Amino acid sequence: MALFGTDGVRGLANGPLTADLALSLAQATAVVLGQGRSAEARRAAGKRPTAVVARDPRISGEFLSAAVAAGLASSGVDVLDAGVLPTPATAFLISDIDADFGVMVSASHNPAPDNGIKIFARGGVKLPDEVEQRIEYAIAGQKLQPTGPNVGRIRRFADAEDRYVVHLLQSLPHQLDGLHVVLDCAHGAAAGVSPDAFRDAGARVTVIGADPDGLNINDGVGSTHLDHLAVEVLRAGADLGIAHDGDADRCLAVDAQGNIIDGDQIMAILAVAMKDRGVLTKDTLVATVMSNLGLHRAMAERGIRVVQTNVGDRYVLEEMNAHGYAIGGEQSGHVIMSEFATTGDGLLTGLHLMAEMARQGKSLAELASIMTVFPQVLVNVKGVDRTRVADAGVSAAVAAAEAELGDSGRVLLRASGTEQLVRVMVEAENVEQAQRIADELAAVVLERLAL
């Protein structure tokens, strides 16, 4: 079975994801990524390859990041340990100091017992599939075993947070003066840096979910649990709330009335703002097939093209990189602004969202009103043969549903990549119609594809 999933290597810490695996993975990464032209140029100049290592605050990150650093140093790589820091900060720092690569130890929005290892290449970019495969093969191969002065050193990256915050502030088109935000840091990697960044940008900040103890990451807080944030926004009389996930590569929001503003709405606001400023490359936004029909309509009304990709921020990023697009993302809050970041960045997204509020002097609800969110119903059909999703009977049922919806909705069937499961998603002008059609299609899928 493949070691890498859709976003690095992930699993139960000390279950499948052990210190031994982390060390071996780091050693294999040094073999594959520590041998490029920049690494060879460093060696020619009498220097060793360099890697940035960071983690989120879950307790297993302590031993896993130590194992990663040990594996790299034992392979002749100098390690700059950035400590607890968001994933997008790690990606930025790799580029900022021209490191050869970097490693982030995090399981993102997963619960505390899980963890993961994300590897970034030079420039802070995610690895393509073929490079991940080379690293997997290298685990069983010969390791680099330098001795004497050629072993790597492990040093603290002392100004990591400051470099990242300065970068965020320099990206802003407008200060946040006069705006009051409640930040939910998910007891995660953003707890130390996000409040400072928003305050330095001029906002008044109320903070929740910023007391990580290694066990409470994502526990009832953060971008996957927005109820508490909505309550706090209303209690504080704030202009909005912003929620990160455990490694802070996501941003979701709530407006002053406590209504959720999802990734599609955030992308709509930012894309229109970028077009107004003349920086929306090719007047194009990249989104996944799960993005709401309302996003497509809102963008079409404003002369913005939406390019669709498969689900997953890596596919969004691949499309953006291939064509030079400036913004893309997912409904879940992964928003990529390629001028300033190589991955989704929850802090960057939140800051730019608030900057647009300040620039226009409008509430978040007013800005979000450019997009009407269509009710979206998702039904997971289990115990079916996902390889036969193109079955003629299923296709006929989908065609009939699409005919009923016309231009007022859409249907999407997606086979799971890991389970015998098919996801049925239906959008319509009202939730009752969406639910009925989704249930009818789910029944057909179960009847036709049952194992």
Instruction: Give the other-Cβ count within 10 Å of 212's Cβ.
Output: 23
Q: Which residues are catalytic?
A: 108
Is-contact 141 28, C-beta < 8 A? yes
Q: What secondary structure does DSSP assign to 347-362, as a single string? A: HHHHHHHHHHHHHHT-
Strands 240-243 and 252-255, bridge-based pairing: antiparallel
Is-contact 68 117, C-beta < 8 A? yes
Residue written as token pair 């069937």: 413
**Is residue 157 within a helix (H) or strand (E), and if so which, with residue range?**
none
Q: Residues near 266 by Cβ (< 8 Å), separated by ≥ 6?
A: 251, 252, 253, 329, 333, 335, 349, 353
Return the half-sphere exposure (C-beta side, CA atoms, 13 A cut-off) of residue 264. Answer: 23
Q: Report the binding-site residues.
A: 108, 245, 247, 249
Q: How far apart are CA 322 and CA 116, in angstroms?
A: 27
Is-contact 34 62, C-beta < 8 A? no
Q: How far apart are CA 303 and CA 268, in angstroms?
A: 12
Q: How far apart are CA 331 and CA 252, in angstroms?
A: 9
Q: How far apart are CA 395 and CA 194, in angstroms?
A: 47
Please give the structure tokens belonging to residue 79. 């390690």
Is-contact 79 51, C-beta < 8 A? yes
Interior angle at CA 362, CA 360 and CA 364, nearest 5: 120
What strands lie across the sheet with 376-382, from one edge to the other? Answer: 376-382, 421-427, 410-415
Q: Report the binding-site residues for Mg(2+).
A: 108, 245, 247, 249
Q: How far apart are CA 428 and CA 217, in angstroms?
A: 35
Is-contact 389 422, C-beta < 8 A? yes
Q: How far apart are CA 271 and CA 327, in angstroms?
A: 7
